[in-house]
Amino acid sequence: MLSYGVSISIGAIFLLEIISFSYNIFQKTKARRQRRRFFKRNGGLLLKQQQEADPSLVDKTILFMSQEMEKATDCFNENRILGRGGQGTVYKGMLVDGRIVAVKRAKLVDESQLEQFINEVVILSKVNHRNVVKLIGCCLETEVPLLVSEFISNGTLYKHIHYESDEYSMSLNTRLQIATEVASAVAYLHSATSIPIYHRDIKSTNILLDDKYRAKVSDFGTSRIVSMDQTHLTTLVKGTFGYLDPEYFQSSQFTEKSDVYSFGVVLVELLTGEKPISLTRFGEDRNLAMYFKSAMEEKRVMSIFDATMIKEGTRDELLLVANLAMRCLNNNGKNRPTMKEVAMKLETIRTLHVPSMVQTNMGQLVYREELAMQTYGESSSTFMSFDDNNASQ
């Protein structure tokens, strides 16, 4: 009788182990199927198509597993959030090898979002520039797709321009360095890659700074790779209000000069410390580009420059940058410089700038500006010629 009871107990235990083992197998199979389903839904097939079209992409993009991403971000803990945007949320994470990364989690799962996400993966896989955020890999096994890139420690340029601390204010030299680095990166995208890339959303929140204030261009979700014989047309105008090229807005035709216009707005942000859209100005002046143009035309641009710029820069230096910004903001895209020209011009201005040459008397600067502005004339073409004349002196 006792042996019969023992046999039943052993049998029950054995049966429980079989049930537990079968359940674990079922759960693992279910999880594996779910990961496969997510992979397909999150654009995995689209990425494979891109890799088949361009085999060089295969070795450039690491595909992370979902467990790796959960561990890296502490299950996407809210304390790890670096920022939120229209396309998703960015988390700070740490990979098993100790590398600190930024994990971008897409906001929605729909066709348009997936196309942008895979587009960003493909574009960043092709880009290798010290002033462009480096792609590490992606994960398509999770409920929404994830993009893994290098972590840039010092936040966005927007934060540093508009929310400076009392302890630190970016110097003119630093601002010129950042502008030059961004211009060089965009020039690289336009002309140094095998196929031109248009960023299509250049703005100060998409420019990150490292601990040495070196610039890194980020967020390529709406970017486009464009064949040399292709004119890029879109049925939906994409970009950010305040930075958007008015010519593109009217025609829906995006060119490399549209990126130039957006960069011009960033350059004016660096000069003035003003936001692209103001809540304190009215009418057309709410738009920073329009406000800046008006100040140039009315010969009072020195009065809207950031105090640090006035303190550290000479009149000639500041007006050289201002005139370059005016050229970038020309309403006619054909009359704007290329990003390569912009980068070269900014590098020249940087070499001319001597931080020790400080002018602290703003009244004297404004008076000298009024005298110098007489050489401008009234037309936008005079602004350009003034810029070129100063550069040749």
What pLDDT is recorded for position 358?
Answer: 43
273 in the Ramachandran plot: left (φ > 0), alpha (ψ -120 to 50) or beta? left
Task: Enumerate the β-bridge partners of residue 150.
Answer: 101
Give the pLDDT confidence score for residue 46 in this predicted structure. 79
Q: What is the DSSP string of 38-68?
A: HHHHTTHHHHHHHHHH-GGGTTT-EE--HHH
Where b means 16+ CB within 10 Å and e means fewer, 151-179 reads: bbeeebbbebbeeeeeeeebbbebbbbbb
Cβ neighbour number for residue 119 with a 10 Å cutoff: 19
Distance between CA 47 and CA 57 in Å, rounded?
9
Helix or strand or coil: residue 150?
strand
**CATH topology for 157-392?**
Transferase(Phosphotransferase); domain 1 (1.10.510)
Supply φ then ψ for residue 169, to 5 degrees.
Answer: -130, 130
- For the chain, strand residue ranges (E) read 62-63, 81-85, 88-94, 100-106, 135-139, 146-150, 197-198, 207-209, 215-217, 224-225, 232-233, 253-254
Residue-wise pLDDT tens for the chain (393 aa)?
556 565 666 766 777 777 777 767 766 676 677 778 888 888 787 787 777 777 766 666 788 999 999 999 999 999 999 888 766 889 999 999 999 999 988 776 666 667 777 777 877 777 889 999 998 888 888 888 888 999 999 999 999 999 876 567 899 999 999 999 999 999 999 986 677 888 889 999 999 999 999 999 998 766 666 654 444 444 445 678 899 999 987 887 888 999 999 999 999 999 999 999 998 888 888 999 999 999 999 999 999 999 999 999 999 999 999 999 999 999 999 999 999 999 999 999 998 885 544 443 344 344 344 334 333 333 333 233 333 333 333
- Give the model's pLDDT for residue 16: 75
> Is there a contact between 67 and 142 (Cβ–Cβ < 8 Å)?
no
pLDDT, position 373:
38
Residue 74 annotated among the catalytic residues of the structure: no
User: What is the rounded distance in angstroms from the CA atom of residue 64 to the CA atom of residue 75?
Assistant: 15
CB 191 within 8 A of CB 248: no
CA–CA gap between residue 123 and residue 143 (Å, rounded): 23
Please classify residue 135 by burial: count the beta carbons closer than 10 Å to its beta carbon, then call 0-12 exposed, 13-18 middle and 19+ buried.
Answer: buried
Q: Which of 54, 201, 229, 245 is catalytic?
A: 201
Q: Residue ranges of the domains in the chain?
A: 52-150, 157-392
Compute how many other C-beta atoms are within 10 angstroms of the C-beta atom of residue 231. 9
Q: Confirm or reject CATH 3.30.200.20 for domain 52-150, answering yes or no.
A: yes
- pLDDT for the residue 371: 36
Neighbours of 267 (CB within 10 A): 26
Quick one: pLDDT at residue 177?
96
